[in-house]
């Protein structure tokens, strides 16, 4: 048997030329990888510098790795040592863009394909294949054909946009609320728009912030936020920008209405992106719109805090927020400085902070810093602000959340955000608290088909740089113009409601369907809560399932297949606080909340619940159940929850073209997203006029309309109705 196997191997053994062909193919693959890396490095010094750097690094690194591996394999002596070293070095080079196990696997697969093709071509052209055994001919030609096919398939696969997902459909006969009677907030307003730039006036990289700026500003010292930032990284960054962390410029571009004012002020800051691909121009569409509607819109430059030069400044997030407040300080000063273009034109009592990605986190953090005397992470940093910030807008915010009090808050998230893949803004939404002394509201919107980058015109359609972007599933995405239309509608309506006092736009945030004529055709989930809300249960007061947050209330569950309070999950991790999980599978299942006393509601009250359907499913058969209200005199009235909202299932999405890669990077195909269900008590009174809302005693959810499902409820409360 051994002799037979040896004879077969002799007939199939690759010739010397095949070894050379495989090596040349491997080197060709590394050349392509270097070209791809150079085009996507974006260090800021230019394409030729990037390419030269990578080729120089490869010229030094590849031989070193090859020699090291060759020496390590000397003891084995079963394969050509230098060839093995080159092959391993090329595999490492191919895997560098990913720097994880998936990358090394991909590098090995690509290397195998290219070496097989190279070996086959070399054997056909130089290896005397015509004189070889039939088996060797078949193996050489077959493996070469397969490798060629694999190359063609790989090119087609990587160049494709991906695949369509199964679109959810609105149930037939679903009732819709009336369209808002207000005007479209995304329509241009009546003001002519002017533009200008302000900054230090000596920017090396940004001509718009050079000597021609309309207003010159001083620099600020952010070095206390970066006590550990030094060495070659700090020197290289200073060389590139012309300044260090001790001399950060206050640069921004401004869109403002032509007129005497005063006008509300909106400060916007971008997030983390390649620092050489400047992000602050990417919100011009919002600047033009909002200025035409009577707002001063400022897009702040913080590109010098972004990733670049093979690093990003350590823990730069607090500095991003602090810089927003330093800009706000400028505007407060300009409003009272005679001779300044904005003297007396700024309504400093109506200020909003906005941000995208890490900028969304920075906007919320800045609202917190604004009310503090010290940095909560470093008391050596003093704050002296205290400005009247009324509103915060966070678009796809990243990072952790902080408790904010008595501020209006809006967050927007795309379901197909491949960068910030969990709805972290929803966590910040839950951390916005109302005292009841100020009329405020908070709202969130989750849009199917929206990604991370298209809210900024510079960032583009892909949420990663190449070559990682080649694996993203882009086909389900909305067009960039449609995604930005969502931002225009919601941001403009939010600022009209909070800074211009136009309460007619509040209804949009209570139910997006009332703005359906203005919004692109896709699927949305939204949540709303205002400062009139009286919390009955938020499931975080204690470990007792039968108690309410409102002291004295009692909760009871019957025939439920699942009933527990626990952490609300994200795709990866959780929010750190509780909701109640309810499941049923037939039977007379119910969940009831008995109030501690009557008199908590009246005829103008709404019963409000935040609900997520945790079970993936089809929208043709949405989850439905009966809501029963009982007064203390025994009158019971019932209405289906579907009368008020359609409870959509969790929306699974595929971020990448490979399912295994999705699970590896994004963990879960979906996560719970809450929808507000607001049920006017007057609607229940219309069912039976004997029902008196003032005598409301209990709320019971009767799971009799959908045979089996699972819900997650984060809040049950009462709030006032819109008159």
Answer yes or no: is pLDDT of 336 > 90: yes
User: Do 507 and 634 sit in the same domain of this protein?
Assistant: no
User: Do 538 and 634 sit in the same domain of this protein?
Assistant: yes
pTM, rounded to two decimals: 0.87
User: Do 275 and 129 sit in the same domain of this protein?
Assistant: no
Calculate mean pLDDT across residues 62-84.
61
User: How does pLDDT run across 243-255, given as a tens digit for each residue?
Assistant: 999 999 999 999 9
Structural domain containing residue 675: 534-720
Answer yes or no: is pLDDT of 77 > 60: no
List, in sequence order, every residue forming a beta bridge with 433; answer none if it has no partner: 405
User: Do 487 and 542 sit in the same domain of this protein?
Assistant: no
Query: What pLDDT, on a 0 to 100 scale, did the predictor assign at position 76?
Result: 43
Q: Which two tokens stand for residue 87?
A: 């092959």
For 295, the 3-state DSSP assignment is coil
By 3-state DSSP, what share of the chain in percent is helix, strand and coil, each rounded to 5?
35, 25, 40
Number of residues that make up the chain: 723
Query: What pLDDT, on a 0 to 100 scale, did the predictor assign at position 615?
Result: 73
Closest among 453, 450, 271 to 365, alpha carbons compared: 271
Other Cβ atoms less than 10 A from the Cβ of 625: the count is 23
Could you please report the per-residue DSSP string of 222-257? Answer: -GGG-TT--HHHHHHHHHHHS--GGGEE--EEEEEE
If one counts the domains in the chain, the total is 3
Tell me what the pLDDT averaged over the chain comes to: 87
Query: What pLDDT, on a 0 to 100 scale, did the predictor assign at position 536?
Result: 94
Query: What pLDDT, on a 0 to 100 scale, did the predictor assign at position 619?
Result: 44
Query: What pLDDT, on a 0 to 100 scale, did the predictor assign at position 6?
Result: 58
User: Do 516 and 560 sit in the same domain of this protein?
Assistant: no
Closest among 455, 438, 492, 443 to 264, alpha carbons compared: 492
User: How does pLDDT run across 530-562, given as a tens digit for each residue?
Assistant: 999 999 999 988 889 999 999 999 999 999 999
Q: What is the domain-level CATH number for residue 446?
A: 3.40.50.1820
Residue 602 lies in a domain: yes
CB 300 within 8 A of CB 267: yes
Between 33 and 71, residue with greater pLDDT: 33
User: Do 70 and 152 sit in the same domain of this protein?
Assistant: yes
User: Do 154 and 256 sit in the same domain of this protein?
Assistant: no
Q: Which two tokens stand for residue 613?
A: 């359907």
User: How does pLDDT run across 368-405, given as a tens digit for each residue?
Assistant: 999 999 999 999 999 999 999 999 999 999 988 889 99
End-of-domain residue from the set 125, 159, 193: 159
User: How does pLDDT run across 226-245, given as a tens digit for each residue?
Assistant: 999 999 999 999 999 999 99
Query: What pLDDT, on a 0 to 100 scale, did the predictor assign at position 78?
Result: 56
End-of-domain residue from the set 530, 562, 579: 530
Query: What pLDDT, on a 0 to 100 scale, did the predictor assign at position 705?
Result: 92
Contacts of 469 (CB under 8 A, 6+ apart): 462, 463
Residue 152 lies in a domain: yes
Residue 211 lies in a domain: no
Residue whose structure tokens are 């909106």: 266
What are the helix (H) ranges across 42-193? 47-72, 81-95, 101-126, 134-159
Residue 620 lies in a domain: yes
Query: What pLDDT, on a 0 to 100 scale, did the predictor assign at position 81?
Result: 59
| pLDDT above 70: percentage of residues in the chain | 85
Q: Which two tokens stand for residue 12?
A: 């199939």
CB crowding 488-518: b at 16 or more within 10 Å, else e: bbbbbbbbbbbbbeeeebbbbbbbbbbbeeb
**Of 60-64, 93-97, 405-409, 525-529, minimum mean pLDDT range:** 93-97
Other Cβ atoms less than 10 A from the Cβ of 472: the count is 22
Residue 183 lies in a domain: no
How would residue 150 be classed by pLDDT, with cut points 50, 70 and 90? confident
Angstrom distance (rounded) from CA 717 to CA 533: 6
């Amino acid at each position: 048997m051994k002799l037979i196997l040896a004879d077969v191997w002799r007939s199939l053994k690759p010739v010397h030329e095949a070894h050379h062909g495989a090596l040349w193919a491997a080197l060709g693959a590394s050349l392509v990888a270097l070209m791809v890396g150079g085009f996507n490095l974006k260090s800021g010094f230019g394409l030729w510098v990037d390419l030269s750097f990578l080729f120089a690094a490869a010229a030094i690194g590849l031989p070193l790795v090859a020699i090291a591996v060759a020496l390590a394999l000397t003891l084995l002596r079963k394969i050509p040592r230098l060839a093995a070293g080159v092959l391993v070095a090329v595999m490492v080079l191919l895997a560098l863009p990913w720097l994880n196990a998936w990358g090394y696997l991909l590098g090995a697969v690509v290397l195998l394909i290219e070496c097989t093709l190279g070996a086959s071509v070399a054997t056909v052209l130089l290896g005397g294949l015509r004189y070889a055994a039939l088996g060797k001919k078949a193996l050489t030609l077959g493996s070469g054909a397969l490798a060629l096919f694999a190359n063609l398939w790989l090119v087609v696969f990587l160049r494709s946009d991906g695949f369509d997902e199964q679109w959810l459909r609105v149930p037939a006969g679903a009732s819709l609320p009336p369209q808002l009677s207000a005007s479209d907030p995304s329509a241009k307003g009546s003001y002519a728009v002017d533009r200008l730039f302000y900054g230090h006036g000596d920017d090396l990289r940004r001509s718009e912030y050079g000597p021609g700026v309309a207003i010159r500003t001083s620099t600020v010292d952010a070095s206390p936020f970066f006590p550990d930032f030094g060495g070659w990284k700090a020197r290289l960054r200073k060389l590139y920008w012309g300044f260090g962390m001790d001399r950060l410029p206050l640069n921004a571009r401004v869109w403002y209405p032509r007129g005497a004012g005063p006008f509300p002020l909106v400060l916007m800051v971008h997030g983390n992106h390649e620092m050489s691909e400047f992000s602050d121009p990417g919100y011009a569409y919002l600047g033009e719109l909002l200025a035409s509607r009577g707002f001063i819109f400022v897009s702040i430059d913080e590109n010098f805090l972004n990733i670049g030069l093979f690093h990003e400044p350590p823990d730069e997030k607090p500095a991003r927020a602090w810089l927003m407040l330093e800009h706000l300080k400028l505007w407060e000063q300009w409003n009272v400085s005679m001779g300044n273009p904005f003297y007396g034109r700024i309504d400093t009592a109506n200020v909003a902070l906005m941000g995208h990605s890490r900028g969304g986190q920075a906007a919320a953090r800045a609202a917190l810093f604004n009310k503090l005397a010290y940095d909560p992470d470093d008391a050596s940093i003093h704050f002296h602000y205290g400005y009247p910030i009324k509103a915060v807008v966070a678009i796809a915010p990243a990072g952790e959340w902080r408790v904010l009090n008595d501020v209006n808050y809006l967050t927007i998230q795309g379901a197909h955000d491949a960068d910030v893949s969990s709805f972290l803004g929803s966590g910040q939404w839950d951390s916005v608290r109302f005292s009841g002394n100020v009329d405020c509201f908070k709202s969130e919107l989750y849009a199917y088909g929206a990604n991370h980058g298209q809210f900024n015109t510079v960032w583009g359609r892909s949420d990663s740089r190449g070559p990682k972007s080649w694996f993203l599933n882009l086909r389900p995405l909305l067009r960039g113009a449609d995604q930005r239309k969502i931002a225009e509608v919601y941001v403009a309506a939010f600022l009209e409601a909070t800074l211009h006092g136009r309460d007619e736009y509040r209804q949009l945030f209570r139910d997006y369907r009332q703005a359906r004529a203005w919004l692109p055709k896709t699927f949305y989930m939204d949540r709303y809560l205002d400062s009139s809300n009286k919390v009955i249960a938020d499931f975080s007061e204690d470990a007792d399932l039968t108690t309410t947050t409102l002291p004295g209330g009692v909760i009871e569950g019957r025939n439920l297949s699942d009933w527990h309070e626990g952490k609300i999950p994200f795709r990866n991790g959780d929010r750190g606080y509780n909701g109640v999980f309810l499941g049923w599978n037939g039977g007379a299942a119910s969940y009831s909340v008995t109030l501690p006393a009557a008199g908590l509601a009246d005829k103008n009250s709404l019963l409000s619940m935040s609900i997520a359907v945790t079970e993936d499913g089809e929208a043709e058969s949405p989850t439905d159940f009966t809501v029963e209200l009982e007064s203390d005199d025994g009158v019971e009235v019932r209405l289906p929850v579907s009368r008020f909202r359609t409870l959509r299932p969790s929306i699974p999405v595929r971020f990448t073209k490979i399912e295994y890669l999705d699970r590896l990077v994004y963990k879960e195909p979906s996560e719970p997203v809450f929808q507000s269900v607001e049920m006017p008590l007057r609607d229940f009174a219309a069912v039976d006029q004997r029902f008196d809302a003032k005598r409301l005693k209990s709320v019971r959810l009767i799971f009799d309309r959908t045979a089996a499902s699972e819900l997650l409820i984060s809040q049950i409360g009462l709030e006032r109705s819109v008159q």
